[in-house]
Amino acid sequence: MLTGKTIVVIGGDARNIEMMRQLVERDSLVYAVGFEEVDAQIEGVYFSTLENIPANQIDAVILPVSGLDEEGYAESHYAESSPMVQPEFFDTLSENCLVFTGIMTPLLSRLSEKIKIIPLFDRDDVAIYNSIPTAEGALMFAIQHTDFTVHDANVTIIGFGRVGKTLVHTFSALGANVSVCSRNEDELARIFEYHAKPVHIEDLDSSVENCNILVNTVPQLVVQPSTIRSLPLDSLIIDLASKPGGVDFRFAKKRGIKAILAPGLPGMVAPNTAGKILARVIQSVILKQES
């Protein structure tokens, strides 16, 4: 429980709404800045402005998933104009106050020399929790953008990291025939234990001849023309890797193979769950700092 803690949420999207609900349920005092357009009241949340909050009593500041841009704006989906945070604001915070963001931005990096900033999306646990809605989003696209079932389809997943592992569970569970590409011997052993087909990344091209759905998670250009040329023409490519992605989209288009770049799936298919994840990890960080 977060009894006695004062938390300020500055900007954000649907995820932050659910996050605030969860933080209130954990008994903290929550101020929301930049949420004027939220339809209904959120019980226990005080809509306010930065000036009106006693800065030295704040235990945690929560910035949007996208952090602060160069001018200090915190993007908000629920305000006509996104709130702006002056650098001086951070000077007024107490020494133990924690500042959470989704990702670091240049401005935050510079600020982090003075104050403690926790980029949530860099944490393994957040990445693992988020891999679940990510995999469900990928599955949704696979169902939607093909004219065959995932059941009994040949699915190749590239990368067996935090997202890749969850994808294997998800697609295998639906009855797909899953192959997984990795560059690492130990991971190949684990892929075998998952009862998927391990493929060394060097053998990617020759392994996709009968592939129906290719899902990439490697944030490097791994799906190159040679791979795309090996794919059947009616296959689907889904790229989950962060920009610029790992797929040669230009070549896929030329070849006539449908390729989808699918960023930001957790916020898209499950903002509520994504908000719960953030609240859970924020609580765990605050409590750990204390002890």
Would you count residue 147 as binding its own copies (CB under 8 A)? yes
Q: Which does 206 bind (CB under 5 to 8 A by kind): its own copies, ligand NAP, none?
A: none
- Nearest distance in Å: CB 60, ligand NAP: 24
Applying the rule CB under 6 A, the residues between 54 and 113 that interact with ligand NAP are none
Token code pair at residue 209: 């001849």
Which one of 11-19, 144-152, 156-164, 205-213 is the stretch in contact with ligand NAP (CB under 6 A)? 156-164
Would you count residue 201 as binding ligand NAP (CB under 6 A)? yes
What is the rounded distance in angstroms from the CA atom of residue 196 to the CA atom of residue 181?
Answer: 10
Would you count residue 164 as binding ligand NAP (CB under 6 A)? yes
What is the rounded distance in angstroms from the CA atom of residue 179 to the CA atom of residue 191?
Answer: 9
Handedness of CA 239, 134, 36, 57 (dihedral sign): negative
Applying the rule CB under 8 A, the residues between 175 and 204 that interact with its own copies are 175, 185-186, 188-190, 192-195
Residue from 140, 219, 225, 251 binding ligand NAP (CB under 6 A): 219
Residue from 7, 265, 282, 286 binding ligand NAP (CB under 6 A): 265
- Nearest distance in Å: CB 264, its own copies: 14
- Nearest distance in Å: CB 106, ligand NAP: 18
Q: Which does 219 bind (CB under 5 to 8 A by kind): ligand NAP, its own copies, none?
A: ligand NAP
Looking at beta carbons only, is 173 or 221 nearer to ligand NAP?
221
What is the rounded distance in angstroms from the CA atom of residue 99 to the CA atom of residue 80?
Answer: 24
Binding stretches for its own copies (CB under 8 A): 14, 18, 123-126, 128-129, 131-133, 136-137, 139-140, 143-144, 146-152, 165-166, 169-170, 173-175, 185-186, 188-190, 192-195, 269-273, 284
> Where along the sequence are the contacts to ligand NAP (CB under 6 A)?
127, 130, 134, 159-164, 183-184, 201, 217-220, 222, 240-242, 262-266
